[in-house]
Amino acid sequence: MQEHADVVVIGGGIQGLCTAYYLLQHGKKVTVVERGDIAQGTTSCSDGDIFVCDSTPGYFTKLQIAALDEIVILTHKLDDFDWMSKGCVILAETEEQLETAKKQYQEKRLDGVKVRFMDQKDVHDDEPHTAPDIPGGLEFPDGGSLNPMLFAFALARAIRAVGGKISTFTNVTGIGKCKSGAINSVLTDNGTILCQQVVIAAGVWSPEIGKLAGIHIPITPMKGELLVLEPNVYITRRKTMDIGYSLLRHKAASDTCGITPEQSYGIGFLVEPTRENNALIGFCKYPANTTKSNPEVIRAMARRAIRFFPIIRNMNAIRSYAGIRPWTPDHEAIVSATSVPGLYINAGHAGDGIKLGPISGKLISQLMCGIQTEFDLSPLRLDRF
């Protein structure tokens, strides 16, 4: 079987779907090729936090502000994906961490992010279940959360509605080039697709696809796990995490190695209420290539949650799940052309892939269509490594 498309997008996770969604708006004929079902990779194993509270100052914070704006636009264009705009809170555990919070407060204000400094009384007035000794924190009133699976399927419906094709259960096995070295086809176990452009959006599996085209993509697996609590007890009305969480998210993997489970597994505190009133409990970050839950990690995350919200001690967990973040050496994404003419990458979004999906999809589609990109893409180029 042989078919034709202008662009083949490899990967039906959030990045592949967003890339296809925006390319279609530029009139491209697009086929998404996904080896399993839609969003079966890391996208289905994440929570859907869309906040600008833990980004690197400067360029990356501005990119995240644009990312949030783009998601709010999509709430008016796509089917419902459980968007809840409630803001979030970051708590300090100690007076020393409160000083870090003050620094983050200044940095975020300089980048134009709305943020409020909270002292001990503010924190407890805001959420009475917070542990009494918590000395303060930061409130970010903007941003919210969404359901990543609903988001992915809403995108898929929008893609198909305008003639985009999504070939599920189709494994990419090769990338064809013409004599000049430019891309001319994608080989799959269901046949060949002739095309002029290819986007690698295969998340943590992108290096394997890169090899098929003869390029090195420096993405490695960084595991995350979440615990889901029973839905009948009120903890807090919005996502709440500790300063450690925001610091850990952007530390190198080697920095998180230590002797206690908290250090070895990069454990921070996060609680996130969902629309069904289940609370998700996290956070962890450690190099591993498996989606099997680790009981030691689950226990450490639960201990950490109880430290900040003691009411959790009496609650039951109903399940846990794990996923693998696509991690780059500088933990920022790759949204880039490559040395192979016609070959592009939109991958490596680490712990921010849901949030950055629409803005990355928009930017890579502008790059591929020869349109001035809304952001300078040099900090996201592959050749920075």
Residues near ligand FAD (CB under 6 A) are 10-16, 33-36, 40-43, 45-49, 171-172, 201-205, 209, 224, 226, 323, 325-326, 347, 349-355
From residue 13, alpha-carbon distances to 156, 170, 299, 326, 374 in Å are: 10, 14, 29, 12, 23
CB of 33 to ligand FAD, least distance (A): 5
36 vs 135, beta carbon nearer ligand FAD: 36
Pairwise CA distance, residues 385 & 377, whole Å: 14
42 vs 240, beta carbon nearer ligand FAD: 42
134 vs 297, beta carbon nearer ligand FAD: 297
CB of 183 to ligand FAD, least distance (A): 16
Cβ neighbours around 321 below 10 Å, total:
17
- Residue 39's SS3 state is coil
CB of 95 to ligand FAD, least distance (A): 29
Residue with tokens 């950490």: 304
Tokens of 246: 């925001």
136 vs 203, beta carbon nearer ligand FAD: 203
CA angle 137, 59, 49 (to 5 degrees): 50
CB of 355 to ligand FAD, least distance (A): 3
CB of 170 to ligand FAD, least distance (A): 7
CA angle 177, 181, 182 (to 5 degrees): 65
- Spell out a b/e string for 122-159, using b for 16 or more CB atoms within 10 Å of the CB, else e: ebbebbebbeeebbbbbbbebbbbbbbbbbbbbbbebb
98 vs 108, beta carbon nearer ligand FAD: 108
46 vs 55, beta carbon nearer ligand FAD: 46
Contact 154, 147 (CB under 8 A): no
CB of 325 to ligand FAD, least distance (A): 5
CB of 171 to ligand FAD, least distance (A): 5
98 vs 154, beta carbon nearer ligand FAD: 154
HSE, side-chain direction, 13 A CA sphere, residue 274: 20
